[in-house]
């Protein structure tokens, strides 16, 4: 496969810019954005006041854990250092509140029966797998997983994992949880269907966050997004020539959809590619379908993946 050198400033600008067609007027939509700073209360409350915290946040204190566990956390130096470091970025949470409020308004625009959950910020000792937890009434956000991808606390994490460990990614990580709840499941196990399923999720997130760059939605750098744009014809040709699109081989998900440092074409220069390139392709197919069929968001989500592919008229851009 031929990989193209990134030289086109205009192409980079176009691929990373916001899409004005995604924007809708949410100015008249009313939402309630309630935020509880459990992290601040927990690490500034003296141990003898623990009982009061447990009354206020009963859902964060498993009944099987003795009070000694929580007292030890309150007074642990490493925990307090983590809290202090987090406060450098999140002492003032007003900007994040504004972003989440905008997210809620956009969700309510598309889904009027949406009920805003109560937001609770906390620390999880950098539990990246559970950095955002969404229930019917609660949205838990672990701020210590959003300190910046180059923070020393993340030195042991692979680069592709900590790419999204930045405060700019909080709205995306939250929107993704809502998208996963809304997105209808698909029983189609073909590779192209799995790509489109991911593309649906990306498009849903993008409609919820129309001011957010596409690279941020994908947890890509601008250079990685440009690679996908530049190599679109060659990668698509690779999928077709190797008869991958309608294959049900699970390995294809591992190679091109699951989180990874790079996509696995089994070529010498694989390391130049971004991981999850199949997600990017799924998004292109979905957007082509919506454009060519003038399909609104909800209709697209309800349309079977195989129908989306057939009616998308998707063709890679020519270089």
Q: Is 109 left (phi over 0), alpha (psi -120 to 50) or beta?
A: alpha
For the chain, the domain total comes to: 2
Phi and psi (nearest 5°) for 197?
A: -60, -45
The reply to whether 319 falls in a domain is no
The answer to whether residue 27 is domain-embedded is no
Position 15 scores a pLDDT of 39
- 155 φ/ψ angles, rounded to the nearest 5 degrees: -60, -30
318 inside domain: no
Q: Does residue 202 form part of some domain?
A: yes
- What is the pTM (predicted TM-score) of this model? 0.91
Same domain flag for 157 and 199: no
Give the burial class of 78: count Cβ atoms within 10 A of its Cβ; 0-12 exposed, 13-18 middle, 19 or more buried: exposed
102 three-class SS: helix
What per-residue confidence (pLDDT) applies to 22?
67
Residue 286 belongs to a domain: yes
Residues 82 and 103 in one domain: yes
Q: Is residue 256 part of a domain?
A: yes
**Count of alpha carbons within 13 angstroms of residue 152, beta-carbon side:** 3
Which 3 state secondary structure label does DSSP give 101? helix
pLDDT at 19: 55
End position of a domain, from candidates 158, 182, 206: 182
Residue-level pLDDT at 116: 96
**CA atoms of 201 and 178, how far apart (whole Å):** 10
Does any domain span residue 4? no
Q: What is the number of other CB atoms lying within 10 angstroms of the CB of residue 178?
A: 22
User: Same structural domain for residues 149 and 219?
Assistant: no
Looking at the structure, do residues 134 and 201 belong to the same domain, yes or no?
no
Residue at a domain's end among 122, 156, 182: 182
Cα–Cα distance between 36 and 133 in angstroms, integer? 15
Below-70 pLDDT ranges, the chain: 1-22, 319
66 in the same domain as 168: yes
Same domain, 135 and 216: no
104: closest CA among 214, 208, 213, 216? 208
Residue 26's nearest CA partner among 232, 208, 171 is 208
Same domain, 124 and 230: no
pLDDT at position 313, please?
96
The answer on 174 and 50 residing in a single domain is yes
Last residue of a domain, one of 155, 182, 209: 182
169 and 133 both lie in a single domain: yes
Do residue 178 and residue 293 come from a single domain? Answer: no
**Distance from C-alpha of 302 to C-alpha of 185, rounded to nearest angstrom:** 10
Q: Give the whole-angstrom CA distance, residue 235 versus residue 244.
A: 11
Report the pLDDT value the prediction gives residue 317, as an integer from 0 to 100: 82
| 112 and 212 inside one domain | no
CA 264, CA 116: separation in Å to the nearest integer?
A: 40
Helix (H, G, I), strand (E, B) or coil at 119: strand
Show the domain range for 253.
9-22+186-312
Q: Report how far residue 112's alpha carbon sits from residue 193's, in angstroms, rounded to the nearest whole number.
A: 29
87-97 residues labelled b (16+ CB within 10 A) or e (exposed): eebbeebeebe
Q: Is residue 261 part of a domain?
A: yes
User: Model confidence over 241-277: pLDDT tens digits?
Assistant: 999 999 999 999 999 999 999 999 999 999 999 999 9
Q: Are 256 and 285 found together in one domain?
A: yes
């Amino acid at each position: 496969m031929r990989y193209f050198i990134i030289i086109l400033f205009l192409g980079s600008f176009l691929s990373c810019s916001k899409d004005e067609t995604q924007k809708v007027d949410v100015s008249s939509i009313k939402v309630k954005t309630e935020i509880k700073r459990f992290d601040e209360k927990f690490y500034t409350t003296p141990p003898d006041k623990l009982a009061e915290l447990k009354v206020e946040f009963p859902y964060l204190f498993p009944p099987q854990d003795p009070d000694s566990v929580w007292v030890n956390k309150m007074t642990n130096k490493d925990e307090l250092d983590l809290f202090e470091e987090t406060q450098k970025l999140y002492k003032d949470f007003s900007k994040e509140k504004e972003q989440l409020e905008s997210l809620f308004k956009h969700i309510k625009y598309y889904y009027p029966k949406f009920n805003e959950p109560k937001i609770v910020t906390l620390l999880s000792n950098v539990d990246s797998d559970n950095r955002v937890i969404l229930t019917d009434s609660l949205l838990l956000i672990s701020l210590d997983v959003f300190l910046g991808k180059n923070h020393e606390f993340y030195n042991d994490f692979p680069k592709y994992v900590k790419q999204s460990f930045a405060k700019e990614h909080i709205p995306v990580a939250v929107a993704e949880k809502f998208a996963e709840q809304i997105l209808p499941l698909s029983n189609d196990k073909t590779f192209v269907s799995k790509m489109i399923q991911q593309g649906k999720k990306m498009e849903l997130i993008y409609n919820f966050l129309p001011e957010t760059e596409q690279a941020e939605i994908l947890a890509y750098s601008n250079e990685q997004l440009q690679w996908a744009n530049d190599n679109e014809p060659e990668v698509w040709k690779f999928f077709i020539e190797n008869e991958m699109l309608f294959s049900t081989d699970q390995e294809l998900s591992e190679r091109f959809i699951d989180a990874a440092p790079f996509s696995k074409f089994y070529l010498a220069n694989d390391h130049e590619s971004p991981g999850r390139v199949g997600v990017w392709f799924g998004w292109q197919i979905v957007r082509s379908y919506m454009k060519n069929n003038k399909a609104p968001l909800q209709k697209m989500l309800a349309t079977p993946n195989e129908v989306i592919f057939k009616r998308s008229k998707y063709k890679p851009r020519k270089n």
